[in-house]
Amino acid sequence: MSSHGDPIPMTSSACGPLSGVAEVPGDKSISHRSLILGAMAVGETTITGLLEGQDVLDTGKAMQAFGAEVINHGGGSWSVHGVGVGGFAEPDQVIDCGNSGTGVRLIMGAMATSPISVTFTGDASLNGRPMARVTDPLALFGCQAVGRAGGRLPMTLVGAADPVPVRYTVPVPSAQVKSAVLLAGLNAPGETVVIEEEATRDHTERMLAGFGAEISTEVTEEGRVITLKGQPELKPQHIDVPRDPSSAAFPVCAALIVPGSDVLVPNIGLNPTRAGLFTTLREMGADLVYENEREEGGEPVADLRARFSPDLKGIEVPAERAASMIDEYPVLSVVASFASGETHMPGVKELRVKESDRIDAMAVGLRAAGVTVEDGPDWWTVTGLGHGNVPGGVTCASHLDHRIAMSFLVMGMATQKPMSVDDGGPIATSFPIFEALMGGLGADIQRGG
Ligand code: S3P
């Protein structure tokens, strides 16, 4: 099992206004997919703006173990020499995906229809997460999986030698599951069809089309019906990875709760399957403006300007918006603590099976910091105390979860007493420049408990 080294306690204290420009790193979802699809194309894919977080680096190492050549040219510029659909070699080592559920689930899909055996592992967080949601549909292609009880890693997958195409309705709203099935469908003959009742992030569909696959999406009464024609030759691409809205969430939310702040977060993708947080914040009364709205690479993009918002109101966050902001609920719960009234967040069962049980991790820390939180299996409610009234002054467990660590550190920028996390190390999985970037805006984050 991998681990990320000794814990790194961090403390965040109240600071003066945050100001300046926050250049957040590349999108994590698109970065994983760039490496994986690059490895499945024939020839050289070039990538700029790749997120060089540990999760993505682990996916890059995995692609090398499958026979692709992955080269770091420096400054976020990478190239991948792909082996083609069906061209994966059998790795001679265990594939360690570290902390990354996206990495392991997408790679499982990508290898499931090749006649190779692969053993996957990860850190303590990843080895506790459910994998049957992916291995069940992969079994329909003819791929076998043997893991620990409850379908947990470490786990060995034996890819199908004679894969058959699949028609599969995804039972939980999960872009990882949808993407695993589509990637497996690449090396199956005929048409693979994936149906999702609720729309989840659609980067895999968009990127597969960009790589030359025949893929179409039809919105029907059943939901989104995605049809992929198997065994294409994927053509190498140049990919300029847009910046990650899920990382942008942290400087945006910090600016809203720290008095006097005015922060510009440029070039953020506002794909509707990802932008739910920003809609929600605006409904809460946030001074959050989309500047310079434009289209880049077929995706809506804007510069986000966030200013201190003293009169935030709690709201009901529509359950049907959950998939488009699933990674942003932890930091939303922090903003909700500084709002007046209740923020009710229904339809969020999936938060319980992320890098940590994110409802529980946040609820425990928020309560300790003086905020009232109620929760049930698939909902939670935060009762805000209003600006300036949140006590803080506690150390929270980050549970090997980057977004939990960053959320509590954002909180400490506006609580009466500092907030600490027991381990900020996992932040490096998705946002390795978080401390430096927030410090550059004026935040006071120190290492130490
Ligand atoms: C991701 C999908 C989401 C999200 C994760 C990235 C992806 O997970 O939480 O951070 O890149 O496909 P689920 O598919 O489990 O909802």
Digitized pLDDT (tens) for each residue of the chain, 449 residues in all: 444 689 999 999 999 999 999 999 999 999 999 999 999 999 999 999 999 999 999 999 999 999 999 999 999 999 999 999 999 999 999 999 999 999 999 999 999 999 999 999 999 999 999 999 999 999 999 999 999 999 999 999 999 999 999 999 999 999 999 999 999 999 999 999 999 999 999 999 999 999 999 999 999 999 999 999 999 999 999 999 999 999 999 999 999 999 999 999 999 999 999 999 999 999 999 999 999 999 887 779 999 999 999 999 999 999 999 999 999 999 999 999 999 999 999 999 999 999 999 999 999 999 999 999 999 999 999 999 999 999 999 999 999 999 999 999 999 999 999 999 999 999 999 999 999 999 999 999 999 88
Query: Are the beta carbons of 165 and 230 closer than 8 angstroms?
Result: yes
Which ligand 1 atom is at minimum distance from the Cα of 323?
16
Stretch (H or E) spanning 238: strand 238-240
Stretch (H or E) spanning 383: strand 379-385
Choose among 253, 269, 267: nearest CA to 306: 253
pLDDT confidence of residue 420: 98
pLDDT confidence of residue 299: 79
Q: Rounded to whole angstroms, what are the CA distances from 228 to 19, 144, 194, 205?
A: 46, 22, 8, 9
Q: 239 in the Ramachandran plot: left (φ > 0), alpha (ψ -120 to 50) or beta?
A: beta
| CA of residue 136 to ligand 1 center, whole Å | 18
Atom 5, ligand 1: residue with shortest CA distance:
102
Which ligand 1 atom is at minimum distance from the Cα of 175?
14
pLDDT confidence of residue 5: 81
- Whether ligand 1 lies within 6 angstroms of the CB of 97 is answered as no
Active site residue 327: yes
- Interhelix angle 245-257/276-283, rounded to 10 degrees, is 20
Which ligand 1 atom is at minimum distance from the Cα of 178?
14
Report the alpha-carbon distance of residue 404 to residue 328 in Å, rounded: 10
DSSP string, 56-102: HHHHHHHHHHTT-EEEEEETTEEEEEEE-TT-PPPPSS-EE-TT-HH
Ligand 1 pocket, mutate which of 30, 134, 326 (most atoms under 8 A from CB) = 326
Q: Which of 244, 327, 401, 423 is catalytic?
A: 327
Superfamily of domain 28-228: Enolpyruvate transferase domain (3.65.10.10)
pLDDT confidence of residue 4: 60
> Which SS3 state, helix, strand or coil, does residue 304 take?
strand
| CA of residue 174 to ligand 1 center, whole Å | 6
- Whether ligand 1 lies within 6 angstroms of the CB of 327 is answered as yes
Superfamily of domain 10-26+245-447: Enolpyruvate transferase domain (3.65.10.10)
Q: Per the structure block, which two tokens stand in for 125?
A: 């967080």
Report the alpha-carbon distance of residue 52 to residue 239 in Å, rounded: 15
Q: Is the pTM of this model over 0.75?
A: yes
| CA of residue 186 to ligand 1 center, whole Å | 20
Which ligand 1 atom is at minimum distance from the Cα of 326?
9
| CA of residue 350 to ligand 1 center, whole Å | 10
Atom 13, ligand 1: residue with shortest CA distance:
174
- Interhelix angle 101-111/28-40, rounded to 10 degrees, is 20
Cis before 300? omega within 30 = no
Atom 4, ligand 1: residue with shortest CA distance:
327
Q: Where are the domains of the chain?
A: 10-26+245-447, 28-228
pLDDT confidence of residue 297: 74
- Whether ligand 1 lies within 6 angstroms of the CB of 334 is answered as no
pLDDT confidence of residue 2: 47
